[in-house]
Amino acid sequence: MNILLGVTGCIGAYKAAEVLRGLQQRGAVVRVIMTRHATEFVQPLTFESLSGQPVIAGMFDLPNHATIEHIAAAREADLLLVAPATANILAKFAHGIADDFLSTAYLSNTNPVLIAPAMNVEMWDHPATQANLKILRERGDQFVEPGVGYQACGEVGVGRLAEPAEIVERAIGIISNPESRISNLESQDFTGEHVMITAGPTVEDLDPVRFITNRSSGRMGYAIAEAARDRGARVTLISGPTRLSPPANIETVNVRSTREMYEAVRGRLLDTTVFIGSAAVADFRPANPAAQKIKKDGRKTITLELEETEDIIASVGNDPNRNGRIVVGFAAESQTLLDYAEKKLREKGLDLIVANDILRRDAGFDVETNAAMILKRDGSRIELPLQSKREMADRVLDEVLKLRKG
């Protein structure tokens, strides 16, 4: 597999070297295009040494009179990956400006495009940038959403380049899944659907300082939200506390406790046509959370009384007013996984359930990949081998679509 890696001029350019290494470890041959400003942050020699390929850093580098170089480079690649992508390059791509090798290669490209933006939070939030992102998404380009955190400018917010491992997983997933080569513009198979997704953990307070929660990162739910959006759905994401940035063009409702998530779901459920409960919801909460910080006061042990939380997925699955709504659940277990998932499928009125073994280090909580078994009400089972969470998101949506079509 051949990947054309575009590197643009921002502080995140140094992470592109890690992306390159990750792609090589997965068997990819990588050729690098650098914009002029990118070379101010990282020298081309760095990428040449890592890739073993000449770096293209100028419009007329590596002239080959037998071919038109930017067209040849684009056509030889299975994927055009731009990481990091500045606001400037997004604007060029969106409006067809071809004034350097990377923007010209983009216009010459007929293969999938994956873009990992990186910029200041104000630049990311600016209406011009958001409009450009909308154009590119509608055109079929795919994105690895930026993260939230401390930025080089000293501000904190959305705009940090996604982690290299996440970028690598998405890139390999696109290449390895032939269906992903069909542009989103041509496969808007969720148009007309309102998909609601719950994601991340919930938090239950013990006192003003301490709380009960779990290791869910929210990545699976966010991946499903982005996949549904890219396939034409109107999406509502109900998210517990995560480190992920809110996906663009998705209604995101931030909650903390199970009760808050339950109320957010029930309040927006009426016109929802597909509900996917991927959140790792706390099953119990302290019955009497302390108003003040709990002190030792000489005690060696302490007993906590817990009470059951609201069963969100059951309230949706067993709702007498479902009106054809498809309901999908997740089961994350450490033992008797399939037996538990089958029981949950039946008791909670689900159409299908995605079963995860949480003891696998390479799947489930707080990692970029996942492996699962989909169980359906008709008794059939579909095994999903280890893959990126975005790939799995599309596989789950494929099964939802089959249910919709009957």
Query: What is the DSSP annotation of 249-282?
Result: TSEEEE--SHHHHHHHHHHT-TT-SEEEE--B--
Domain locations in the chain as residue ranges: 2-185, 189-405
138-142, 223-227, 358-362 — most confident range? 223-227
The enclosing H or E element of 227 equals helix 219-230
Whole-model pTM: value is 0.66
Q: Above 50 in pLDDT, residue 68? A: no
Q: How far is residue 124's CA from residue 128's CA, in Å, rounded to a whole number?
A: 9
- Give the pLDDT score at 184: 43
Sequence-separated (6 or more) residues with CB below 8 Å from residue 9: 35, 36, 37, 38, 39, 40, 41, 86, 88
Q: What are the angstrom distances between the C-alpha of 352 and each of 174, 218, 228, 313? A: 25, 20, 17, 12
Residue 34 DSSP code? E
Q: How far is residue 384's CA from residue 361's CA, in Å, rounded to a whole number?
A: 16
CA-based radius of gyration for the chain: 23
Residues 340-354 have a mean pLDDT of 96
153 catalytic residue (yes or no): yes
Domain spanning 2-185: CATH 3.40.50.1950 = yes
Place of tokens 């309901």: 327
Domain spanning 189-405: CATH 3.40.50.10300 = yes
Please report which confidence band the pLDDT of residue 177 belongs to, taking 50, 70 and 90 as the band edges. Answer: low
Q: What percentage of the chain reaches a pLDDT higher than 70?
A: 90
Question: How do the residues of the chain divide into helix, strand and coil, expressed in percent and rounded to 5?
Answer: 35, 25, 40
The pLDDT tens digits for 205-224 are 999 999 999 989 999 999 99
Nearest C-alpha neighbor of 74 from the set 133, 20, 2: 2
- Give the pLDDT score at 65: 43
Helix (H, G, I), strand (E, B) or coil at 324: coil
Please report which confidence band the pLDDT of residue 183 belongs to, taking 50, 70 and 90 as the band edges. Answer: very low
Place of tokens 């079929």: 140
Q: Where do the H-state alpha helices sit in 86-126?
A: 87-95, 101-108, 121-125
* Of 11, 91, 153, 294, catalytic: 153
2-185 and 189-405 share one CATH topology? yes
Q: Above 60 in pLDDT, residue 328? A: yes
Q: Above 70 in pLDDT, residue 105? A: yes
Place of tokens 């339950």: 262
Please report which confidence band the pLDDT of residue 82 belongs to, taking 50, 70 and 90 as the band edges. Answer: very high
Nearest C-alpha neighbor of 220 from the set 270, 284, 159, 278: 278
Q: Above 70 in pLDDT, residue 154? A: no
Please report which confidence band the pLDDT of residue 145 belongs to, taking 50, 70 and 90 as the band edges. Answer: confident
Q: Above 60 in pLDDT, residue 41? A: yes
Residues 108-126 have a mean pLDDT of 90
CB atoms closer than 10 angstroms to residue 156: 12
Q: How far is residue 3's CA from residue 110's CA, in Å, rounded to a whole number?
A: 13
Q: What are the angstrom distances between the C-alpha of 126 and each of 13, 68, 120, 130, 177? A: 22, 36, 10, 6, 33
Core vs surface per residue 65-101: b (16+ CB within 10 A) or e = eeeebbeebbeebbbbbbbbbbbbbbbbbbeeebebb
